[in-house]
Chain A
Amino acid sequence: MELLLQQILAGVASGGIYACVALAIVMVYQATGHLNFAQGEMAMFSTFIGWQLIQWGMPIWSAILLTIVISFAAGVLIERTIFRPLVHASSLTHVVVFIGLFGILNSMAGFIWDFGIKTFPSPFGDGTLFGLIGKHQAGMIATTACVAAFLYIFFRCTRLGLATRAAADHPVFAKLVGIASENVVSIAWGIAAAIGSIAGMMIAPVVFLEPNMMVSTLLYGFAGAVLGGLTSPVGAVLGGVIVGIMENLSATFIPVVGAELKLPIALFLIIVVLVIKPSGLMGRVVTQRV
């Protein structure tokens, strides 16, 4: 029973990170209608920036804050320079450009900081809490809750959040009432990059810092986003946490599976959910006009 509780808590902790990645994916998807395959690499690059700042002697919390700000700016910059000219291009074109961006970031990180693994210090310290859960894991859960609460307040209670939602729902009408839809897309990219950097810096103490560290996290994040329904931020958080729990439980309690097959099993369970409920747990059903 204690093992079960421990595994569920560990699942919630890593699920929180997947939820952050899922939120970042949903932000960009809501604003542009495209899945950002490079989200994980953007997060990885941000994490390297944070690591570099810490190496240069910056206190850990200010390094984290500065990294979040830099990531926001970088996200806006990437949208403005690379994706703005492609607004009207097809989804497949976008997929290819995302793959290109993936390659660039991954290879640059390896070039600048080499491919060896590095340790990223946890801002929450070592040790356990109540003998059940690591301090860092508890910190991960708290961080996820903060990110989710921040986004909720941003979207529900600020003018900018309302404008963002309006532009995502209907760009043309939003423009007619005076919202600069283009800026909204930039902001969405910035927020996505910032959330991604938080996810990266939270998972880095667990998986070690190296250029390929976000690949599996991105996969789980995608799975979480799709499971929750790509149109719903609440769904993304829920989906991410569910994926985290499923991953941990299947690795612990299905003996043949072990560590080898936990990713396929998690994905398989998600597909089963989707076959039963094709629009995701919290997603809108999109009707098609003939």
Chain B
Amino acid sequence: MLKNPLTPMNSETLSMAEGHRTSSNGSSRKNFIVVCVLVVLALVLPLQLPNFLVFQLTMAIIYAISVLGLNLLTGVSGQFSLGHGAFYAIGAYSAAILMEHMGLEYGWTLPAAGAICFLIGFLIGFPAVRLGGIYLALATFAFAVATPQILKLSLIEEWTGGVTGISLSKPDAPAGLPLNSDQWLYVLTLFVALVAYIGARNLLRHRTGRAMLGVRDNATAARAMGVNTTLYKALAFGISAMYTGVAGALGGLVVQYVAPDSFTFALSIALLVGVVVGGVGWLPGAIVGGLFVMFIPNFAEELSQGLAGAVYGVILILLMYLLPAGFGGLVTSLKGFLSRGRGHVAGRH
């Protein structure tokens, strides 16, 4: 059953997303305006907030980027990963090592981390996709467990800093911008997130994305239609790893510190929870997932220090009862409800 971890809802959501393209010009313009307003709000509002909140929002967006990456893998190509925390770690470490040991400008570390993670994801993807469903889960899980241990190894301590990790300096805003460095990192992260989102959306509308959806819905049928399933599965793995790697690099910059114990298996689990809460296969769900990963554990801690884990668990279980398909499911059913209402009115005319 883990082989296809998707409810029927998700294919509907995706096809609805595709439907937008063919819908009338008016509604797509309206959508465009809504998106622009949201972006401007997201850009301007936080700049009025205290620095710590700006930092938390930045982290939420960073988690959203990695949730988006994991959603591309799970929701779009139907594969299962318990190991994306490892890609996050590799992204963060790539950025840190490139900055501290090779003197690379921080801006360049993002594409570099993305490229490294894409390569590793693709290479791991090739043997891993032979393993379907649960076995892939185990393989990625092993990867997540092994990565922090490998980062601690004394052999590469010179580069990774061993258990203590690497401290980074915070980049300042480019000269001329009236922002402090927290605000600048927020703007930068938001920009990266937008690019990542647009990239993911375009990918789905393209040949590659369609091939991945085909692989998800029925790998055997897709193969019969000439889709190289192994290649596309590995590709989905690589792209997903790339997203998470870029997020990790940003995370390293924002936290100014990378250490093996920040990237335990719990991070991989948190990202997976983010995907499910946001809605598997529903790309905008990533932002809900990111906010959830960032804020709900804190909220649980505030509610009860001793029982924080229990509060978090109860929230998760209740959420799954109320929204079994995440927020994406909620949006789909709301949309269905609204359009049914509209159809009714049109019928009376």
Contact = CB atoms under 8 A, between A and B. Distances in A.
Contact of A111 (B310, B312, B324): B310
Interface stretch (B46-54, B128-136, B196-204, B226-234): B128-136
Interface in B126-154: 127, 130-132, 134-135, 137-139, 141-142, 145-146, 149-150, 152-153
A120 interface: no
Contact of B135 (A91, A96, A274): A274
B59 interface: no
Interface string A80-112: 001001100111110111011111111110110
Nearest to B309: A107
A264 interface: yes
A274 B138 contact: yes
A35 interface: yes
B13 to A, nearest CB: 13
Interface string B197-231: 00000000000000000000011110010000000
B317 interface: yes
A105 B307 CA distance: 10
Contacts, number: 146
B273 interface: yes
Interface stretch (B2-10, B22-30, B164-172, B338-346): B2-10
A263 B141 CA distance: 11
Contact of A106 (B275, B309, B324): B309
Interface string A106-122: 11101100000000000
Nearest to B148: A264
A82 to B, nearest CB: 7
Contact of B139 (A85, A219, A260, A274): A274
Interface in B75-115: none
B67 interface: no
B190 to A, nearest CB: 28
Nearest to B221: A290
A243 to B, nearest CB: 12
A207 B150 CA distance: 24
Nearest to A289: B220
Contacts of A97: 316-317, 320
A34 B1 contact: yes
Given A82-B317, A219-B145, A271 B139 contact: yes
Contacts of A101: 313, 317
Given A102-B313, A270-B142, A90 B6 contact: yes
Contacts of B320: 86, 89, 93, 96-97, 100
A267 B131 contact: no
Interface stretch (A5-13, A156-164, A222-230): A222-230
A85 B275 CA distance: 22
17 contacts: A86-B324, A90-B325, A92-B6, A93-B276, A100-B314, A100-B315, A103-B310, A107-B306, A107-B307, A111-B310, A222-B141, A226-B135, A261-B149, A263-B145, A264-B146, A270-B142, A288-B220
Given A96-B276, A102-B313, A264-B142, 11 more contacts: A34-B1, A85-B321, A86-B320, A86-B321, A89-B320, A90-B325, A93-B324, A103-B310, A107-B311, A230-B134, A290-B221
The 4 closest A-B pairs by CB, nearest first: A107-B309, A103-B313, A267-B142, A264-B146
